[in-house]
């Protein structure tokens, strides 16, 4: 199966850690992000977060607010879009682009709660 075009850029695990923090906490400064990701960190960890944010900004995944003394960053991509991208990449790599074997495997390996099963049934009926 041909690979699908994806609008959400690929992100590294380290970049994903920054995005996850922004999704959970909202707008944050570099210092706040560095303090959360590296509680005992110093100058090099601050520089690492700064570089990660620069890369994410270049990819269009975060926006920078320069209006205050400390620049604030916010996520410009939705968590669901990153999930879509990552799952599609796994499906391309392992399942010839099909999500079906991947989904069947995931569902068979984890006991779903009643509400999750009902939601899954509704989704299947709608598709």
Same domain, yes or no: 87 and 106: yes
* pLDDT at 6 (0 to 100): 63
Domain range enclosing 66? 13-75
- Residue 4: inside a domain: no
Phi, psi of 72 (to 5 degrees): -110, 145
Are residues 121 and 88 part of one domain? yes
Task: Please tell me the total count of domains within the chain.
Answer: 2
Dist CA 34 CA 48 (whole Å) = 8
Query: Are 65 and 51 members of one domain?
Result: yes
User: Based on the domain organization, do 64 and 88 belong to the same domain?
Assistant: no
Q: What's the pLDDT tens digit per position in 62-105?
A: 999 999 999 999 999 999 999 999 999 999 999 999 989 988 89
70 and 101 belong to one structural domain: no
Q: Span 29-48, mean pLDDT?
A: 93
Distance between alpha carbon 92 and the CA centroid of its chain, in Å?
A: 18
pTM, entire model: 0.82
The contacts of residue 122 (CB under 8 Å, 6+ apart) are: none
Which ranges of 38-113 does DSSP label H, i.e. alpha helix?
43-58, 79-94, 99-109
**51 and 97 fall within a common domain:** no
Identify the band that residue 107 occupies on the pLDDT scale cut at 50, 70 and 90. Answer: confident
6 domain-assigned = no
In terms of domains, do 70 and 83 share one? no
């Amino acid at each position: 199966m041909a690979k699908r075009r994806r609008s959400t850029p690929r992100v590294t695990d380290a970049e994903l850690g920054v995005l996850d923090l922004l999704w959970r906490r909202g707008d944050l400064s570099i210092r706040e992000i560095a303090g959360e990701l590296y509680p005992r960190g110093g100058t090099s960890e601050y520089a690492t977060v700064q570089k990660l944010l620069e890369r994410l900004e270049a990819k269009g995944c975060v926006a920078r607010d320069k209006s205050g003394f400390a620049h604030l960053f916010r996520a410009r991509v939705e968590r669901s879009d990153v999930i879509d991208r990552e799952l599609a990449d796994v499906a391309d790599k392992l399942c010839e682009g099909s999500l079906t074997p991947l989904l069947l495997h995931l569902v068979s390996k984890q006991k779903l709660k009643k509400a999750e099963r009902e939601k899954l049934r509704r989704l299947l009926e709608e598709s």
